[in-house]
A and B are shown apart, each in its own frame.
Chain A
Amino acid sequence: MGSGQRQHSAEAEQDFSNIDRAGLLAALAGILPASALLAEREDLKPYECDGLSAYRELPVAVALPENEAQVVAVIKACHAAGVPIVARGAGTGLSGGALPHVNGVVLSLAKMKKIVRIDPVACVAVVQPGVRNLAISEAAAAHGLYYAPDPSSQIACTIGGNVAENSGGVHCLKYGLTVHNVLRARVVLVDGEIIELGNHGPDAPGYDLLALFIGSEGLLGIVTEVTVKLCPKPQTAQCIMASFDDVMKAGEAVAAVIAAGIIPAGLEMMDKPATAAVEPFVKAGYDLNAEAILLCESDGTPDEVAEEIARMSAVLQGSGATEIRVSTSEAERLKFWAGRKAAFPAAGRISADYYCMDGTIPRKRLGEMLTAITGMEKKYGLRCINVFHAGDGNLHPLILYDANIPGELVRTEAFGAEILKLSVDLGGTITGEHGVGYEKINSMCDQFASDELGVFHAVKAAFDPPGLLNPGKAIPTLHRCAEFGRMHVHGGQVKFPELERL
């Protein structure tokens, strides 16, 4: 069946079970060399999930184009056959965004990893989508420049994935998220047409489609080239590690730093179970007696950093820090951060499995959230360790579980959903940087009413009329919310009353 008749709608999930698999594979074989087209079960296996391994699915095929022309041809073939397309970068996503569609093609951009050019005068880098985040900074280093957003996964994750997720990093409080650091994206639409959003100037005419596109999780188009802004490397940086005997006090210290008019280059919090998990592996030198530690960084000229470190230390002291250590060398500073950046892998070492949450809440509600999480640990009989991008209120509770123990995954999911629900109730959001993907799709029904969800579906249809790009992710259908809503009826009010109950 051609895609012409099919139109994406907000109401119900699309059914792709009637696709012509043999025809599709033949078409793709005409586009890609044999080495760039995978269709055997054992070859598909490595693509069955992303960084969220709890959900797995085998696609019909994996296409690994090497250039934009091949990307266009693959997309046109899928479009003609009405087949779903799931873009994939490095597969480090934590929300199942790159989870394959059982009737679809995984379009891997991993082979497109050329740095097209670096312009040190204009401070921009033009890169292909499969370029790793860190590789950009490495290539720019010779010019004293770097790419600011630094997700903890930066050695592996791709810029295409970063654009799709609007990824952040430990320095985004001061330097912004992906959306603040990308100037232009070249995008292939579902019909194979190429558009450019943004440009090398300060803005583009018309609606800000670049801002709309960033964070769209592979649902609006496939990125084939990105121009990023490069920042001058600060002359120096120093990091404070402050200990607190109470998590609440650490939370209040974060607000106090901001109230003092300081925007630290990084402001992160880890609770005691988190430092205990990390320290044996990373030997970051964390204070293991502290109930919580804050990492608070300043960067700039040597004088500026000295001035700011003094001001930050005074505020932290005034907020009841029990110990304050300032990094005395670049090596020590990097060690402080290495511990924080290794938090997820460390969780993986102390527990068979872990499930990372990503809600953002107003900073002042941190205490309520932590108290609630402690209660949930008892309720669900699972442990949770907490790392936060404290400066911007983005929480990463890591729920520890063992998928081999019957019932633990289900309890873990319920635990996570309760944290997300609370994030919304506290005035925040279910996801700060990892995206909705497949994982949080039900929780979207908590955050948005049916009118907004309808608009999201219509926005998708404005870019992708047949609805072939990453279907079933990011935005729940109204039907799904109606089913889910039966479990979450608030104050006697039925959500989505316009939809018939099943």
Chain B
Amino acid sequence: MSNVVEDFRSRILEKKPLRIRGSGSKDFYGGPLVGDVLETRAHAGIVNYEPTELVVTAKCGTSLAEIKSVLAARRQFLPFEAPSFGDDATIGGVLAAGLSGPRRMAVGSLRDFVLGTRIMDGSGRELKFGGEVMKNVAGYDVSRLMAGSLGTLGLILEVSLKVLPLPVAESTLRLEMTQADALAVMNRWAGKPLPISATCWHDGLLTVRLSGAEAAVRAAQATLGGEVLADADAFWDDLREQRAAFFGGETPLWRLAVPSVTPVLDLPGPILLEWNGAQRWLRGEFQPSTVREVMTTVGGHARLFRGASEAHRAVGVFRPLPPAIHAIHKRLKQVFDPYGMFNPGRMYSDL
């Protein structure tokens, strides 16, 4: 047993609130930061990478950048394109945050690529769920439950992820149109066998990325029309990392997750659409109740992604849960973290 893991255990056995932290790139996200920092970066390294098995296993403190470059050397990648928000994001933090990038609608979200995890629970026990194989239905899928759990269920020690080959060809197109037209077009295209791997609409411009076999990309380019965008990788990188101009400044940033067919929303303010319209970013000072009411009518949910005041973070930036589901959350928290030490309040104030 490594010393680092033993250190983790002794910290956990102190039963004091712990704030699990990789590089801190997502410190802005979720509820308030409570507890003494438990640094994960000392537990780093790729444990296993088998290109022909399509799997990579890494310790929690491994940087996302390192994993990406090791995969790229074998022409593979993590298809969910998680944002890193900083240079040093760790894979443990990526899993805990559960965020996916531009390719999400085409290939699935982060949790779709989780094959296994090793965690340390609130009693200091090392637990292993899932594994390194593609198909595994033995026991409940606790590994995927860790995705997006914001470190509230345990210390993620290790994660196994499915990887895929890099697309042979890519091309990005740009078309001028209104938001309403873009929504119609993105949804229509999503129902057609087109190799669309990402979409983004903002300020009258629809940007569409195609990925796949040479022939498929070429044919789709002809069908879709528009201008080919030069330096497209930089565009998608800046979008994913929220470095694009739209994301600048201090105005609060709301993330709205809605059915992609939801029409233009009745919420004023600068807006940017991704994921065929299923993920919408909105800038503005809104009363949470205003945004939530709109979300309820369209069957979506909102979170205040960036720029929440301390007071707002304390009451919670995520949509409250229905009571029966909230009760299950509390019981699950109890299962993994009976002393309530891990990132208390980071997701909901009583978890």
By a beta-carbon cutoff of 8 Å, the part of chain A in contact with chain B is 119-123, 143-145, 165-166, 168, 172-173, 176-177, 179-180, 189, 193-197, 199-209, 211-212, 214-216, 220, 230, 232-235, 255-256, 258-259, 261-263, 300-301, 303-304, 306-308, 360-364, 389, 392-394, 427-436, 440, 444, 447-449, 451-452, 455-456, 458-463, 474-475
Tell me if B144 and A212 are in contact (CB < 8 A). Answer: yes
Name the 9 nearest CB pairs between A and B, nearest first. A303-B215, A261-B165, A432-B135, A462-B331, A392-B134, A211-B144, A304-B216, A458-B335, A200-B259
B225-239: contact bitstring with A at CB < 8 Å (1 yes, 0 no)? 000000000000000
Known: A308-B213, A362-B53, A447-B138. A209 touches B131 (CB 8 A): no
Tell me if B321 and A206 are in contact (CB < 8 A). Answer: yes
> Which residues of B (37-57) have their CB < 8 Å from a CB of A?
50-54
Some 23 contacts from A to B, beta carbons below 8 A apart, are: A121-B261, A145-B191, A176-B112, A179-B144, A202-B104, A202-B260, A202-B278, A206-B347, A207-B145, A212-B144, A234-B193, A261-B166, A300-B212, A303-B216, A307-B214, A307-B215, A360-B134, A363-B52, A392-B135, A429-B135, A430-B138, A436-B139, A462-B331
Count B-side interface residues using an 8 Å CB cutoff.
84
Tell me if B329 and A122 are in contact (CB < 8 A). Answer: no
Tell me if B127 and A462 are in contact (CB < 8 A). Answer: no
In the assembly, what is the distance between CA of A204 and CA of B261, in Å? 17
Name which residue of chain A comes closest to B136, CB basis.
A429
In the assembly, what is the distance between CA of A361 and CA of B53, in Å? 10
In the assembly, what is the distance between CA of A428 and CA of B261, in Å? 40
A476 to chain B, nearest CB (A): 10
B59 within 8 A of A: no
Say which residue of B112, B324, B347 sits within 8 Å of A179 (CB atoms).
B112
Known: A258-B54, A433-B137. A462 touches B335 (CB 8 A): yes
Tell me if A122 and B260 are in contact (CB < 8 A). Answer: yes
In the assembly, what is the distance between CA of A361 and CA of B131, in Å? 10
B108 within 8 A of A: yes
Tell me if A432 and B53 are in contact (CB < 8 A). Answer: no
Residues of B with C-beta under 8 A to A220:
140
Residues of B with C-beta under 8 A to A363:
52-53
Say which residue of B164, B187, B299 sits within 8 Å of A201 (CB atoms).
B299
Query: Considering residues A202, A220, A455, which has the most beta carbons from chain B within 10 angstroms of its beta carbon?
Result: A202
B318 within 8 A of A: yes
Say which residue of A201, A428, A447 sits within 8 Å of B257 (CB atoms).
A201
In the assembly, what is the distance between CA of A398 and CA of B3, in Å? 46
A425 to chain B, nearest CB (A): 12
Additional A-B contact list (5), CB under 8 Å, known A206-B347, A447-B138: A144-B191, A180-B112, A363-B53, A428-B133, A462-B328
Tell me if A459 and B142 are in contact (CB < 8 A). Answer: yes
> Which residues of B (258-295) have their CB < 8 Å from a CB of A?
258-261, 275, 278-279
B174 within 8 A of A: no
Tell me if A444 and B214 are in contact (CB < 8 A). Answer: no
Say which residue of A165, A216, A455, A475 sits within 8 Å of B335 (CB atoms).
A455
B303 within 8 A of A: yes
Say which residue of A119, A189, A202, A255 sits within 8 Å of B109 (CB atoms).
A202
In the assembly, what is the distance between CA of A434 and CA of B137, in Å? 8
Tell me if A212 and B193 are in contact (CB < 8 A). Answer: no
In the assembly, what is the distance between CA of A181 and CA of B257, in Å? 18
Residues of A with C-beta under 8 A to B321:
205-206
Residues of B with C-beta under 8 A to A215:
137, 140-141
B132 within 8 A of A: yes
In the assembly, what is the distance between CA of A235 and CA of B331, in Å? 47
Residues of A with C-beta under 8 A to B324:
189, 193-195
Tell me if B139 and A394 are in contact (CB < 8 A). Answer: no
Say which residue of A204, A427, A444, A455 sits within 8 Å of B142 (CB atoms).
A455
A324 to chain B, nearest CB (A): 20
B75 within 8 A of A: yes
Tell me if A119 and B261 are in contact (CB < 8 A). Answer: yes
In the assembly, what is the distance between CA of A202 and CA of B219, in Å? 28
In the assembly, what is the distance between CA of A411 and CA of B104, in Å? 48
In the assembly, what is the distance between CA of A331 and CA of B200, in Å? 40
